[in-house]
Amino acid sequence: MPKIDVYNMEGKKVSDVELNDNVFGIEPNEAVVHSVLVNYLANQRQGTQSTKTRSEVSGGGRKPWRQKGTGRARQGSIRAPQWVKGGIALGPRPRSYKYTVNKKERRLAIRSVLSSKVLENNLVVLDKAEMKEIKTQAMVKTLANLKVEGKTLILLPERNENVQKSARNIKNVKTTLVNTINVYDLLKYNKLVVTLDAVKKLEEVYA
């Protein structure tokens, strides 16, 4: 089992914890991670793009000129696709891009990314995240104490308004909960700060 140091909010090591091999010690499966990431991004698409066909644009009810004898190409409507302001042929229509992937694949992708965080030393375990008041500067100081820089994801076991609101105005920092984590966020943020309770909850859910 991989062993990792546990720090307090002052940045001092207070203990260490052995991580579950099934969650934090597997060989990352890049193919599954890619598949689940593409699925997540596809499900975020609104699919509201739309164009009008020749039957939906205004005008063009009368044949512009007679069929024969003018020397010009035959035309049935000034709203055919080849005309300026005409309808769009084969344009995009409102649709849903959503599709599902296997639950086992989603779980494997999460475990793969968590394991890669451990391998790359980008996982920081915090003994607990407690703040008496909502104060952004206090969260900035905590992250500085932990020597965490760059894009950082803070993973909490449950909602904590003081912690979440203290972090929401810090650039490149996001908080999320164990039951709402996704592959996109885990990959987007380089550093992952996890509380000890969140580690236990992850092991309960994904082991």
Name 175's bridge partners.
154
pLDDT at residue 1 in the model: 67
Element (H, E) at 14: strand 13-18
Q: Contact 170/140 with Cβ under 8 angstroms?
A: yes
Confidence tier at 2 by pLDDT (50, 70, 90): confident
Question: Is the pLDDT confidence value at 61 over 90?
Answer: no
Residue 155, judged by CB atoms within 10 A of its CB (0-12, 13-18, 19+), counts as: buried
Determine the topology of domain 3-45+100-206 in CATH: Ribosomal Protein L4; Chain: A; (3.40.1370)
Pairing of strands 173-177, 152-156: parallel
Domain limits, CATH 3.40.1370.10, in the chain: 3-45+100-206
- Average pLDDT of the chain is 92
How does pLDDT run across 63-87, given as a tens digit for each residue?
999 999 999 999 999 999 999 999 9
Percent pLDDT > 90 in the chain is: 80
When pLDDT is averaged across residues 84-94 and rounded to a whole number, the result is 94
* Gap between the Cα atoms of 204 and 207, Å rounded: 6
Give the pLDDT confidence of 166-200 residue by residue, as tens digits.
999 999 999 999 999 999 999 999 999 999 999 99
